[in-house]
Every structure is written in structure tokens, then in C-alpha cells.
């Protein structure tokens, strides 16, 4: 129904609390450094957004979404996404998005001077559905799946300060 639901560990589904969310909600991401909750959606006006405005994930009530300034609000179809903090302020400043309608991974970095997310290229991945990754010494390793015939588990490495365009994709496993 386009809603995010919260429940404490060890409780059953009847204890879940509705905390809102737009129609077209697709994927949630809990940013581990500051425990903020983010969402991807195909809903009007938002694509990648922060849920609520407090420093911890919301547990009750209905919360507004804070769209990522500079991230397109109508031309993308984000599915899963992954955020990283390349600095020391425990705030995400690097974003990779699995855009399934474009069949691409999109890269964005946050510019502190303009308070905007800036596009840093893309790489074609037809039928992409999911994405995760890790960052080590400024190099991001992404793991992602594409569905179809055949479905694949793939990876790529990208320096956090460089464009994603032209990055080499390596197939790890074919289903």
C-alpha cells in the first residue's frame, strides 16, 4: 500500500506501526553510520529520499520525505541503491543507484558547497535489479544482479573520486 512499517525485533506483524511512505515505494536503505532511513520510489516528486528528519529512523507517526537535492525527480526509476560516507562526518556523500528502467547504475556525489547531488556518470547494466557494495581505502566495490535470460551476479570497482562511465563489469556467476 505504499507504506513503510516498523516493528521491534522479536514482535510479530500485528505489532507493526505504519510510518508512511509514498505509492511507488521500492527499496529501503538504513545508513549504518548515522542510522538514518532512506527510500527509493517512483512516486511523484521523489526518487531517492530521506525518511523523516531526526538522527534516528522513525518508529511511529507519518514522516515527510526529504528528496536528495540535485537528484532527478522524474526521469529515473531507482530500484535498490547504496550510500557511502567518504569522509568522517557520518553523512552519506556517495550514491550508487540501480535504475532498472534505464538499465544502468547511476553514480552521484554530494557537493557540500552547493548542497546538491551531482551526477558522476553511469554504466549500462541491462535488467539490473539489486545493488550493494563496500568501500575500502577510497575504492568502491559494487555487487549487483540482473534478471533475465540469463540472470547474473556481477561486480565492478570504482574509485570514489572518479566517474563511473567506462567502468569494467565482471561477471561473477550466471544462474
pLDDT (tens digit per residue) in 28-43: 777 765 578 788 877 6
For residue 75, the model assigns a pLDDT of 76
Whole-Å CA distances, 84 to 2, 17, 54, 144: 26, 28, 19, 16
Give pLDDT < 50 ranges for the chain: none
The predicted model scores a pTM of 0.86
**DSSP code, position 71:** S
For residue 56, the model assigns a pLDDT of 66
For residue 66, the model assigns a pLDDT of 76
For residue 39, the model assigns a pLDDT of 80
For residue 57, the model assigns a pLDDT of 67
For residue 131, what are the contacts with CB-CB under 8 A and spacing of at least 6? 79, 80, 81, 82, 96, 97, 98, 105, 142, 143, 144
For residue 4, the model assigns a pLDDT of 73
For residue 5, the model assigns a pLDDT of 72
Alpha-carbon distance 84 to 157, whole Å?
14
For residue 115, the model assigns a pLDDT of 93
For residue 141, the model assigns a pLDDT of 97
For residue 19, the model assigns a pLDDT of 66
**How many Cβ atoms are within 10 Å of 128's Cβ, its own excluded?**
25
E strand or H helix that includes residue 139: strand 139-146
Q: Is the CB of residue 83 less than 8 Å from the CB of residue 29?
A: yes
Among candidates 15, 90, 9, 83, which has minimal Cα distance to 49?
83
Alpha-carbon distance 64 to 22, whole Å?
9
Alpha-carbon distance 154 to 172, whole Å?
5
Amino acid at each position: 500500500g505504499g507504506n513503510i512499517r516498523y516493528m521491534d525485533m522479536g514482535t510479530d506483524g500485528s505489532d507493526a506501526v505504519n510510518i508512511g511512505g509514498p505509492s511507488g515505494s521500492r527499496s529501503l536503505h538504513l545508513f549504518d553510520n548515522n542510522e538514518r532511513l532512506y527510500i527509493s520510489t517512483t512516486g511523484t516528486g521523489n526518487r531517492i529520499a530521506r525518511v523523516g528528519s531526526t538522527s534516528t529512523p522513525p518508529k511511529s507517526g507519518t514522516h515527510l520525505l526529504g528528496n536528495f537535492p540535485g537528484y532527478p525527480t522524474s526521469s529515473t526509476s531507482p530500484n535498490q541503491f547504496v550510500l557511502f560516507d567518504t569522509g568522517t562526518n557520518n553523512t552519506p556523500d556517495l550514491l550508487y543507484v540501480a535504475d532498472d528502467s534505464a538499465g544502468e547504475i547511476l553514480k552521484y556525489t554530494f557537493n557540500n558547497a552547493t548542497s546538491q547531488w551531482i551526477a558522476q556518470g553511469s554504466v549500462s547494466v541491462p535488467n539490473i535489479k539489486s545493488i550493494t557494495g563496500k568501500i575500502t581505502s577510497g575504492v568502491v566495490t559494487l555487487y549487483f544482479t540482473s534478471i533475465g535470460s540469463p540472470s547474473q551476479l556481477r561486480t565492478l570497482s570504482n574509485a570514489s573520486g572518479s566517474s563511473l562511465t567506462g567502468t569494467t563489469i565482471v561477471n561473477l556467476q550466471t544462474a
